[in-house]
């Protein structure tokens, strides 16, 4: 094994290096790789806890498979140090095959790179275009990552587009073949991201609030791309906050450590009790407004965490949202919430029957 080339520093891309590395193997990565791995390690516990809802079941199945078929412990997570790093471009040759390593920091990490085989017109692009090719990129992750910049993503995409590849080998799923297909897909993706960026900035300059823009900015039909991993509405907010930060100038309370939940009990009292608010949540469900129902049910559950009617409204609302979701992260989040809510409802009913 002469070289190991790391297309980015995320733990699932570097974690198996020790299993492949031999004496004399040279590890090659972008110069930002160590800074990114350090960044990941700094909040490793936080990120593991925030990612668990999406991957816990898959990891449990994998662990069971290993125990049933192989046995033994899972190898330790590699935290490798590259032997060769570069800033923008590096050329390598092995067995007569020429490789160009190109920095593409608009991907999932600032050490993202692609590997270009000029004689074969093949580009190993890793997760530059997110986990699902042809879908809107994750400019913000539900699990928790630094914001990614829309314009930097476009610049990196254009670097690959200029290569005119005939084959893309992505980090997930099968290859994308055909120069014309690749050109059309990348062009549409680039223009879709540029459209969302420009519309968000235009809205900011015209004084529109972030929730209005999240709701109103939609891709035109000719720029339609999938939203199975990233979402347009999430990216609108990511672009907004990347430029302007977390203070949206909508309420003084944003600047203080007192959340809205601190007055939920007061709202319940003013509304005539938890039952009245839970009933209004169910009415919102019947009107096809599951998010408003969740807001109301959360008011009840802050004041009375075991309120059965509010838990039922929460479950119904999350089930409705899950049926409508085509996004991996949103679906996994909703399923995790449903599991927790159903457990809470069962516990509440047991307590009620025992009393």
CATH number (domain holding residue 293): 1.25.40.880
pLDDT at 354: 82
298: helix, coil or strand?
helix
Average pLDDT (247-273) is 94
CA distance 262 to 122: 56
Pair (240, 299) in one structural domain: no
Q: Which domain-ending residue is among 206, 221, 244?
A: 244
Are 32 and 111 contacting, i.e. CB atoms less than 8 angstroms apart? yes
Mean pLDDT of all residues belonging to the chain: 95
Residue 77 in domain: no
pLDDT at 18: 94
298: containing domain = 257-349
Residue 183 in domain: yes
Are 31 and 86 contacting, i.e. CB atoms less than 8 angstroms apart? yes
Residue 25 in domain: no
Number of independent structural domains in the chain: 2
Pair (338, 275) in one structural domain: yes
Residue 144 in domain: yes
Residue 44 in domain: no
Q: Which domain-ending residue is among 219, 244, 269?
A: 244
Pair (134, 234) in one structural domain: yes
Pair (266, 214) in one structural domain: no
In 3D space, the residue among 234, 212, 54 whose CA is nearest the CA of residue 148 turns out to be 234
The string of pLDDT tens digits covering residues 31-42 is 999 999 999 889
Pair (217, 269) in one structural domain: no
Average pLDDT (44-51) is 89
Pair (197, 266) in one structural domain: no
Pair (216, 292) in one structural domain: no
Confidence of residue 90 (pLDDT cuts 50, 70, 90): very high
Pair (306, 218) in one structural domain: no
pTM of the model as a whole: 0.93
Pair (160, 189) in one structural domain: yes
Residue 355, pLDDT above cutoff 90: no
Counted residue by residue, the chain has a size of 355
Pair (198, 240) in one structural domain: yes
Pair (213, 325) in one structural domain: no
Residue 30 in domain: no
Task: Please enumerate in sequence order all residues whose Cβ is within 8 A of that of 170, keeping only pairs 6 or more positions apart, or say none.
Answer: 125, 126, 127, 129, 133, 176
Residue 65 in domain: no
Residue 283 in domain: yes
Pair (214, 277) in one structural domain: no
Q: Which domain-ending residue is among 217, 244, 271?
A: 244
Confidence of residue 267 (pLDDT cuts 50, 70, 90): very high
């Amino acid at each position: 094994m002469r070289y190991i080339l790391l297309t980015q520093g995320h733990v699932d891309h570097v974690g198996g290096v020790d299993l492949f590395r031999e004496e004399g193997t040279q590890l090659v990565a972008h110069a930002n790789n160590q800074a990114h791995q350090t960044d990941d390690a700094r909040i490793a516990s936080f990120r593991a806890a925030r990612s668990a809802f999406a991957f816990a079941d898959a990891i449990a199945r994998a662990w069971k498979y290993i125990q049933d078929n192989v046995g033994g412990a899972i190898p330790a997570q590699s935290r490798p140090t590259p032997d060769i790093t570069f800033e923008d471009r590096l050329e390598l040759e092995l067995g007569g095959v020429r490789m160009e390593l190109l920095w593409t920091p608009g991907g999932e990490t600032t050490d993202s790179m692609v590997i270009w085989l000029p004689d074969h017109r093949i580009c190993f692009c890793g997760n530059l275009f997110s986990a699902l090719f042809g879908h809107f990129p994750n400019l913000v992750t539900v699990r928790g990552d630094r914001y990614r910049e829309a314009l930097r993503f476009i610049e990196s995409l254009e670097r690959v587009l200029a290569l005119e590849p005939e084959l893309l080998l992505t980090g997930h799923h099968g290859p994308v073949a055909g120069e014309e297909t690749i050109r059309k897909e990348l062009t549409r993706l680039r223009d879709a991201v540029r459209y969302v960026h420009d519309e968000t900035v235009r809205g900011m300059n015209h004084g529109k609030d972030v929730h209005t823009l999240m709701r109103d900015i939609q891709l035109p039909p000719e720029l339609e791309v999938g939203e199975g991993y990233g979402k347009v509405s999430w990216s609108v907010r990511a672009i907004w906050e990347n430029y302007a930060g977390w203070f949206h100038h909508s309420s003084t309370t944003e600047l203080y450590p007192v959340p809205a939940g601190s007055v939920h009990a007061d709202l319940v009292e003013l509304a005539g009790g938890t039952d009245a608010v839970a009933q209004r949540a169910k009415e919102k469900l019947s009107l096809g407004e599951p998010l408003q129902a969740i807001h109301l049910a959360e008011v009840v559950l802050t004041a009375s965490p075991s309120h059965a009617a509010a838990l039922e409204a929460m479950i119904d609302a999350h089930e409705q949202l899950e049926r409508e979701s085509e996004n991996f992260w949103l679906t996994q989040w909703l399923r995790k919430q449903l599991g927790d809510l159903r457990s809470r409802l069962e516990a509440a009913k047991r307590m009620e029957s025992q009393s």
